[in-house]
């Protein structure tokens, strides 16, 4: 592997660049970003070795790390630009639409649908970290549709970055992620909004916020440019998750209204089981 190209030099694209440089010091890393400041920062930070609008024909790997709703067009354009020995993978948080769009594409075998479960509430090249991917799960969808030999190029990078590979179909991926990632972000944003609204009347409310609030509201600092497209791209699954969440909240609300201490206790004790399940996942 001699040359990779990264489109989108934010937190995730930037972390792939920094990680790849660390593991393969000789690698040529070209890249681009629609935001000129990001491109400049990526060069300064050493995320890429050269700014380049489009990948060279002999690029081994192209990584697409732009917002979810832009990936379809960029993927098609990129496949038209690269040679036949290039593998293109995206790192988007939704997979069904992209995979469906690609199902009959003549260059389908040069595409790998990937999603690393890695990130922070920060965004942009300055938020990138060489070890962001270390020991994180990376999900691959429709593995069998990608060329066997080209796939090796991605595996070489994934192994070097020490990710844990998982495989599933795109619909399953989007359904699961709606619950264990997208819903968390919405609950956090709405928590932040509710408290900000209250703060309009009550001063210094944040003085009293402890680590519990900081933890649950952390994701409300996340990038709207990244998340708005995810919410619309994975609409059906997210609506199902949200409806379940709102319905649980309403039922819990009624238990509080009715002073149903026993019901509240029992419901929370049942939810406490998540302790063991989260431990197992470690």
Kindly state whether residue 73 participates in binding a second copy, applying the rule CB under 8 A: no
Say how far apart CA 219 and CA 227 lie, in whole Å: 11
Do the beta carbons of residue 94 and residue 233 sit within 8 Å?
A: yes
Nearer to a second copy, 148 or 269 (CB): 269
Angle, helices 224-233 vs 235-257, to 10°: value is: 100
Closer Cβ to a second copy, 104 or 207, answer by number: 207
- Specify the stretch interacting with a second copy by CB under 8 A; choose among 26-34, 39-47, 147-155, 267-275: 267-275
Among 131, 169, 171, 267, binds a second copy (CB under 8 A): 267
Which residue's CB is nearer to a second copy, number 82 or number 219? 219
Residue 200 binding a second copy, by CB under 8 A: no
Residue 237's nearest CA partner among 178, 170, 192 is 178
The rounded distance, in Å, linking the Cα atoms of 95 and 173 is: 7
Residues 22-61, interacting with a second copy (CB under 8 A):
none
Residues 149-178 that bind a second copy (CB under 8 A): 166, 172-173, 175-177
Interaction residues for a second copy, span 109-128 (CB under 8 A):
117-121
Minimum distance, C-beta of residue 162 to a second copy, in the bound complex (Å):
16
In the complex with a second copy, the residue whose CB is nearer, 27 or 139, is 139
Q: Which is nearer to a second copy, 103 or 275 (CB)?
A: 275
Count interface residues toward a second copy (CB under 8 A): 95
Kindly indicate which of the ranges 12-20, 25-33, 80-88, 187-195 contains the residues binding a second copy, using the contact rule CB under 8 A.
187-195
Q: Which two tokens stand for residue 263?
A: 């019901």
Q: Which residues, at least 6 apart from 54, have a Cβ–Cβ distance to it below 8 Å?
A: 32, 78, 81
**Rounded CA separation 46/71 (Å):** 24
Distance of closest approach, residue 268 Cβ to a second copy, in angstroms:
4
C-beta of 148 vs 280, nearer to a second copy = 280
SS (H, E, C) 83-108: CCCCEEEECCCCCHHHHHHHCCCCCH
Among residues 105, 117, 126, 132, the alpha carbon closest in space to that of 40 is found at 126
């Amino acid at each position: 592997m001699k040359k990779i190209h990264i489109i989108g030099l934010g937190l995730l694209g930037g972390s792939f660049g920094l990680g790849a440089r660390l593991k393969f010091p000789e690698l040529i890393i070209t890249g681009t970003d629609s935001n000129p400041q990001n491109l400049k920062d990526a060069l300064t930070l050493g995320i890429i070795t050269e700014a380049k609008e489009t990948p060279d024909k002999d690029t081994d790997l192209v990584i697409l790390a732009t917002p979810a709703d832009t990936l379809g067009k960029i993927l098609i354009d990129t496949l038209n630009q690269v040679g036949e020995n290039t593998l293109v993978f995206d790192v988007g948080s939704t997979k069904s639409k992209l995979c469906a769009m690609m199902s009959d594409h003549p260059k389908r075998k040069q595409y790998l649908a990937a999603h690393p479960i890695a990130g922070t509430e920060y965004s942009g090249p300055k938020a990138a970290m060489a070890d962001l991917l270390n020991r994180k799960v990376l999900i691959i969808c429709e593995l069998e549709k990608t060329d066997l030999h080209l796939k090796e190029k991605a595996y070489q990078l994934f192994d070097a970055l020490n990710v844990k590979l998982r495989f599933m179909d795109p619909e399953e991926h989007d359904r699961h992620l709606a619950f264990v990632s997208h819903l968390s972000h919405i609950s956090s944003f709405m928590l932040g909004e509710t408290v900000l609204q209250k703060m309009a009347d009550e001063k210094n409310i944040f003085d009293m916020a402890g680590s519990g609030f900081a933890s649950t509201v952390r994701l409300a600092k996340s990038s709207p440019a990244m998340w708005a497209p995810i919410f619309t791209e994975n609409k059906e699954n997210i609506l199902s998750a949200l409806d379940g969440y709102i319905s649980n909240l309403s039922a819990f609300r009624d238990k509080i209204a009715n002073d149903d201490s026993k019901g509240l206790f029992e419901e929370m004790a049942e939810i406490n089981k998540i302790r063991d399940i989260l431990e197992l996942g470690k």
